[in-house]
Amino acid sequence: EVTCPEIARQLVAEGVKTVVVVTDDTTKFDEGVFPAGVAVHDRSELMTVQKRLRETPGVTAIVYDQTCAAEARRLRRQGKFHDPDRRILINELVCEGCGDCSVQSNCISIEPLETEFGRKRKINQSSCNKDFSCVKGYCPSFVSVTGGKLRKAETKQAGIDESALFAALPTPALPALDAPYNVLLTGIGGSGVVTVGAILAMAAHLEGRGASELDVTGLAQKNGAVASHVRIAKTPEEIHATRIGLGGADLAIGCDLVVTTSFENLPKLSSRTTAIVNTHVQPTAEFATNANLDFSADKMLGAVHSACGAANTHAVNASELAVALLGDTIASNLLLLGVAWQRGKLPVSFAALDRAIVLNGRGLEMNRRAFAWGRLLAHDPKAVERAARPMLREPAASADASLKELVAKRAEFLTAYQGAAYADRYRKLVVRVAEREHQTVSGHDALAKAAARYYFKLLSYKDEYEVARLYTDGSFAAQVAREFEGDYGIALHLSPQFLPAFLAPRDPETGRVKKWLIPMRVMLPAFKLMAAMRFLRGTPFDPFGWTKHRRDERAEIARYERTLDELLDSLTHENLPVAIEIASLPELVRGFDTVKERHLEAARHKEAELLAAFRRA
């Protein structure tokens, strides 16, 4: 194994003029291990180092030192790599869904979270590599949780006897091996797909069958696509090729729906295929730059339906169930395997599969339980749902929620935000929009719904009072308790933007205020006081209201009201679609401080274009 100091010494020996080491941990190297003149910098300084070397004459080199994220997760599960006793949590109500955390970290463990109030962000605790660069996202929603452990469903406390449930499961009829049986497993690197393929092939081997396993990994360590082609026959001589051909899969276990429906794998599915797929859509790298990326599973499930037929397609909420029941999404693959076996779609016995799981030697108890829960899910899904229900998140509001429901929930929120008069201001405007729209197109309420959603968004801007309220009104405590248990401590990552420049200077390149890590016990009294003082919001006595960002947010509310007045005055059947698009523009305005400024500027440019089109229509 070549070490970082050895690489640096080789570069110097070959005559490279300037060599710089950039690392995620500057303390890991002993003094004197690098040649004279080789500087070591923290990775946060990478951009500065690159700019300096760009102006340095001669050949220069940067040695970037950091363990591969997927490898770090594997080693941590084996107890062979440092595992910080710390996790990052996003306060979902404070989060604006701006995506700056994804931009800063380029991490796909930051996933979309669909809520009543729009798309937010959450951390996938199972795939998180504890890189912690996401906390550089420029908002106050990031929290460090130290100690404790991830919560999972307590079936014993709920009076659920797992052993009795699993023991009562019937043994299915297994498929005959008149011809080689082809199983295609698809997923992403580091999630255990190759392990499941190895377990299945070993189970067939233990029964004296012929078995082959071909793993197509590619850039798997970068969370890239992985596919395992497992072929099982009565004898090894019956297997003439290891790769499954077009339309040749008898069973497809789709651990990741995106990979399952890729151009490499979808053609292997046909009417002979039984597809058992995970409905959770893992974010792709594109999500880091496109916060509005469509994560609906409907189109991809439709592609599987088209290939296999609806009767042969079984969609399973595997990731969410694995987290709820077993505390880790990596268990979702064995859960899917259990579903497949219980449905009689695997030509190996339970005893052989169980022995293969034991021989694998990793996560034995979790893997056995995951397989058993999968079997139960195939046999009695309601029993599994009852067991997992306490840990499953309530689904987001339906896209076709009525206007009355939208307004009622948001008016209740605004009452807590500022007061009954503030909520009444909101109701009156939405009612006026609904009445005018009904006069234009009878029975139509899309414009009123847009106003209901986005006038609310502007009215409930997250100033210091609101951030304080959302950390102290009980919602955040409930979120933490839902995800963690045990003895844990909480600290907040905050940028005090309202302080004078000499106390909280802005970075000259980014314009951002440096984040401070402040224990929750220190901030809690201050937050409670700030939340209680929200009646000062917008008054001459508001200590936070004089800042440019607060003035801009109040001005944007008035601007939106004037825009709606213009839309209602000139509304026709022809220009209604453009009016709806204009009324929905606040959806683009997300984030805090400089991030919000950038989005606001883009939204105003878009508004000018749409208003011109509206006036011409």
Amino acid 610: pLDDT? 95
What is d(CA 431, CA 425) in angstroms, rounded to the nearest whole number? 10
Q: How many CB atoms lie within 10 A of CB 441?
A: 14
| Long-range interactions of 571-579: CB distance < 8 A, separation 24+ | 571/436, 571/437, 571/440, 571/447, 572/440, 572/617, 573/440, 573/441, 574/617, 575/614, 575/617, 576/437, 576/440, 576/441, 576/444, 576/446, 576/447, 578/610, 578/613, 578/614, 578/617, 579/447, 579/614
Q: What is the pLDDT of residue 131?
A: 85
Query: Which residues make Cβ contacts (< 8 Å) with residue 267, sequence separation at least 6?
Result: 246, 247
Residue 126 is predicted with a pLDDT of 83
Q: Are the C-beta atoms of residues 317 and 279 closer than 8 Å to each other?
A: yes
- Residue 404: partners with Cβ closer than 8 Å, 6 or more residues away: none
Whole-model pTM above 0.85?
A: no
- Residue whose entry in the numeric block shows the structure tokens 């011109």: 612
Q: Is 224 helix (H, G, I), strand (E, B) or coil?
A: coil
**How far is Cα 198 from Cα 334, in angstroms, rounded to an integer?**
12
User: According to the model, what pLDDT value does residue 72 have?
Assistant: 79
Give the pLDDT of residue 436.
Answer: 94
Q: Strands 484-494 and 142-150, how do they pair? A: antiparallel
Distance CA 97, CA 356 (A): 43
The residue ranges of the chain whose pLDDT is under 70 are 155-159, 218-223, 285-286, 288-289, 395-400, 501
The radius of gyration of the chain's CA atoms, rounded to the nearest angstrom, is 28
Phi, psi of 239 (to 5 degrees): -95, 110
- CA max distance for the chain: 86
Question: DSSP states of 23-69 as a string?
Answer: ES-TTSSPTT-SPTT-EEEEGGGHHHHHHHHHTSSS-EEEEEE---H
Tokens (6 digits) for 58:
């001669």
Asked if 308 and 270 touch (Cβ cutoff 8 Å), the reply is yes
pLDDT at 221: 53
Determine contact, residues 177/417, Cβ cutoff 8 Å.
no
In the DSSP assignment, the letter for residue 513 is: B
CA distance 368 to 341: 13
